[in-house]
Structure 1
Amino acid sequence: MQPIAEKLDKLVPDAHQPVEMVHKMESTGVTKASRDTLSMVLLGLLAGFFIGLGAVFCTLVTTNISLGFGLGKLLGGLAFSLGLILVVVAGSELFTGNCLIVAPWMSARISGSQLLRNWGIVYFSNLAGALILVVLIFYAQFWALDSYRVGVNALMIANAKVNLAFVPALYRGIMCNVLVCLAVWLCFAARSVTSRILVIVFPITAFVACGFEHSIANMFFIPMGMAMAGQAEVAQAAGVTAAQITNVTALGFVHNLIPVTIGNVIGGSSVGMLYWLVFLRKERAAEVVAARRWLGRFVTVEAQPQKVWTPDVETTALLSVLAKARDDATFLAQLSENPDKALEGYNLTDEAKAALSSGDVHWLESRVGMLDAPLRTWLSSRLSQEKW
């Protein structure tokens, strides 16, 4: 029997380490930026709908609540977490999370036009998905629950948002997407659905409880409030005059979205950039300096220190793994389900293991040359499983 210490050494770590996470973030960003337009639109619609469902749940649980300010906000944040859980676990394209696509852009793996194309298509698809949900919820008369108090809450939420000044909205947008993208970043450490849910809940609860501003959530909250402003029963139950809700209009909606969206981009992109600078700056230095000259002040091409495994040894190990994956179905299944266990005993760097685990075809072919069709197909399917 093996000693207990030896068995413990072979246990799979509870979470991916940051150096693995940043490679997963980069390769996932490449996949997202390379999607065809129809897929991007459909997944964007889903994300807007999913975030809207979180907003619906949040509106309901914070209606007529008597727990006090802090606890009420906490409960609303927990409910809203449903939105990002659906986005990450079910799979979709969320504009705020996609701010992390700056990582592959900084690595020169995607172009600026690909980055902006993804952001533009996903942003307006999220808007469409949120508006579809507004229509469904309106005609379901969700707002009439609890003697129209749910509708009153929806109206008051929207009214507070449209009356927020530009500068506070901007900074609340920044803080919101710092937390959202940290939640997404933590998902790259997770090895299970349960882990992903747990790492999502706390950052998302925090941003909602703190009153930070999420552009995609506001695509549901404010139009829903606009719909409520036209309902006499809701206005009567709220005890407000038309003058008090005069900004709950399409113009007020746009005035909120502009600073909040800018803030979301700044906050989310900062998270991706910072982790790229920490973990990928040196590794990608040569290609970055060639493609992004303005980044030259942040990266320096240095002579690489001698590694334990020479490139020839690692290339041989990679070829051995790929050949075995092609010929041995059992090994291929193990590589898909438990890559850390499958790759034990191979002389591979963390970067090589991350590339095999995530299916980074570009990286692998840069090391071993063109892969055959079956291997490319399998690796592409692995890469498509990486979500945020």
Structure 2
Amino acid sequence: MSYLNPSEFVGKMIDAGEAKVFMSTRDTVIRAYMAGAILALAAAFAVTVTVQTGSALVGALLFPVGFCLLYLLGFDLLTGVFTLVPLAWIDRRPGVTVKGVLRNWALVFAGNFAGALTVALMMAVILTFAFTVAPNEVAQRLGEIGTSRTVGYADHGAAGMLTLFLRGVLCNWMVSTGVVAAMISTSVSGKVIGMWMPILVFFYMGFEHSVVNMFLFPSGIMLGGDFSIVDYLVWNEFPTVVGNLVGGLTFVGLTLYATHARPGAGRTRPAREDVRTPEVAAR
């Protein structure tokens, strides 16, 4: 696969962030909607596979198919723009302001949520024959996920909130690494391989992804999960969003930018002594 060195793909990261700031509202929302919907379908697929095979690893191995598809199609996730868009402002690209960065984040959040909610409703209807039969095993699992990852955190108080936040940090450390990994290759196969590995890690480890949760928790509520909308927002979505922002920007965006786009001055090398023998030096 064709490989770009870090100084090249970091430049692409900054260019991508700048382009997203100036994208029209219509295009930003449409791309975010489709990203949220595709990722939600991938999450539904992974949960179904996990339930039917009894193996969480198999579900995690297959989940990245949705992530790869949405990025190859040029759609945007909140986790990705958290990492890329601020770099254009930090790099002082003309016209890029804090207001523009926040506008992009807000539009992508809204689009992702709408797309994920659409799929959550569709899956709830499919799994219950339009709410006319009891939830099947997959539907019950969706409800259990929502309960354990809201009320389950709340039961531990501040320690639960810290755990939730750190899972959000680690999640977008991996997810944003996947976003960047897609830029290190110019071939489709190289991009897919680069994205697949960190996404597999995040999903199997049970880290908290704000957009995946936009599907899991609304569908869990529809399917009888023992938690409320307030539980979802306070004890998952909002802390996860903050954790995703910190993880992606701190451990991926800023580190790559600092050391490849704006590297520090190198240390002065000491002069080398001529250690050759007089006979060799005279030749």
**What is the rounded CA distance, in whole Å, between the counterparts of 2:230 and 2:61 in structure 1?**
30
| Residue 59 (structure 2) aligns with | 76
| Residue 173 (structure 2) aligns with | 178
Residue 20, structure 1, aligned to residue 8, structure 2: yes
Cα distance, 1:155 vs. partner? 1.1
Residue 266, structure 1, aligned to residue 255, structure 2: no
- Cα deviations by residue, 1:254-294 (Å, 9 ceiling, x for unpaired): 02111111000000111101111001125xxxxxxxxxxxx
Secondary structure at the counterpart of residue 182 of structure 1: helix
| Residue 51 (structure 2) aligns with | 63
Secondary structure at the counterpart of residue 223 of structure 2: helix
| Residue 120 (structure 2) aligns with | 134
| Residue 150 (structure 2) aligns with | 162
| Residue 74 (structure 2) aligns with | 91
Residue 252, structure 1, aligned to residue 231, structure 2: yes
| Residue 196 (structure 2) aligns with | 201
One-letter amino acid of the structure 2 residue matched with residue 56 of structure 1: A
Q: Indicate which of 107, 121, 124 corresponds to 2:91.
A: 107
| Residue 35 (structure 1) aligns with | 23
Cα distance, 1:79 vs. partner? 2.3
**What is the rounded CA distance, in whole Å, between the counterparts of 1:21 and 1:142 in structure 2?**
46
**What is the rounded CA distance, in whole Å, between the counterparts of 1:134 and 1:278 in structure 2?**
41
Secondary structure at the counterpart of residue 179 of structure 2: helix
Structure with bigger gyration radius = 1
Residue 44, structure 1, aligned to residue 44, structure 2: no
Conservation of the 8 A alpha-carbon contact between 2:124 and 2:139: no
**What is the rounded CA distance, in whole Å, between the counterparts of 1:21 and 1:225 in structure 2?**
39
Q: Once structures 1 and 2 are overlaid, which stretch shifts more, 182-191 or 13-22? A: 13-22
Structure 1 runs (4+) deviating above 6 angstroms are: 142-147
Cα distance, 1:147 vs. partner? 7.9
**What is the rounded CA distance, in whole Å, between the counterparts of 1:146 and 1:87 in structure 2?**
32
Cα distance, 1:146 vs. partner? 12
Conservation of the 8 A alpha-carbon contact between 1:73 and 1:210: no
Cα distance, 1:119 vs. partner? 0.6
Structure 2 regions of 5+ residues with no counterpart?
A: 154-159, 267-283
Conservation of the 8 A alpha-carbon contact between 2:34 and 2:75: yes
One-letter amino acid of the structure 2 residue matched with residue 280 of structure 1: A
One-letter amino acid of the structure 1 residue matched with residue 149 of structure 2: K
**What is the rounded CA distance, in whole Å, between the counterparts of 2:128 and 2:16 in structure 1?**
37
**What is the rounded CA distance, in whole Å, between the counterparts of 1:252 and 1:76 in structure 2?**
26
Conservation of the 8 A alpha-carbon contact between 1:218 and 1:257: yes
**What is the rounded CA distance, in whole Å, between the counterparts of 1:94 and 1:191 in structure 2?**
21
**What is the rounded CA distance, in whole Å, between the counterparts of 1:146 and 1:257 in structure 2?**
27
| Residue 357 (structure 1) aligns with | none
**What is the rounded CA distance, in whole Å, between the counterparts of 1:140 and 1:208 in structure 2?**
24
Conservation of the 8 A alpha-carbon contact between 2:41 and 2:66: yes
Q: Indicate which of 199, 203, 209 corresponds to 1:214.
A: 209
Structure 1 regions of 5+ residues with no counterpart?
A: 1-12, 67-71, 230-244, 283-298, 303-388
- Cα deviations by residue, 1:213-268 (Å, 9 ceiling, x for unpaired): 00100000011111110xxxxxxxxxxxxxxx54x211111021111110000001
| Residue 258 (structure 2) aligns with | 277
**What is the rounded CA distance, in whole Å, between the counterparts of 1:149 and 1:216 in structure 2?**
23
One-letter amino acid of the structure 2 residue matched with residue 54 of structure 1: A
- Give the paired residue count: 252
Cα distance, 1:64 vs. partner? 4.6
- Cα deviations by residue, 1:104-158 (Å, 9 ceiling, x for unpaired): 1210112111111111110111001100111112222378999811111111111
**What is the rounded CA distance, in whole Å, between the counterparts of 2:128 and 2:205 in structure 1?**
26
Q: CA RMSD in A?
A: 2.1
Secondary structure at the counterpart of residue 78 of structure 2: coil
Listed as ranges, the matches of 1:296-315 within 5 Å are: none
Conservation of the 8 A alpha-carbon contact between 1:46 and 1:129: yes
When the two structures are superposed, what TM-score results if normalisation uses the length of structure 1? 0.62
Cα distance, 1:94 vs. partner? 0.8
Cα distance, 1:185 vs. partner? 0.8
Q: Once structures 1 and 2 are overlaid, which stretch shifts more, 195-204 or 141-150? A: 141-150
Aligned sequence identity (%): 28
| Residue 384 (structure 1) aligns with | none
Structure-2 change in CA distance of 1:214 and 1:115 (3 Å): same
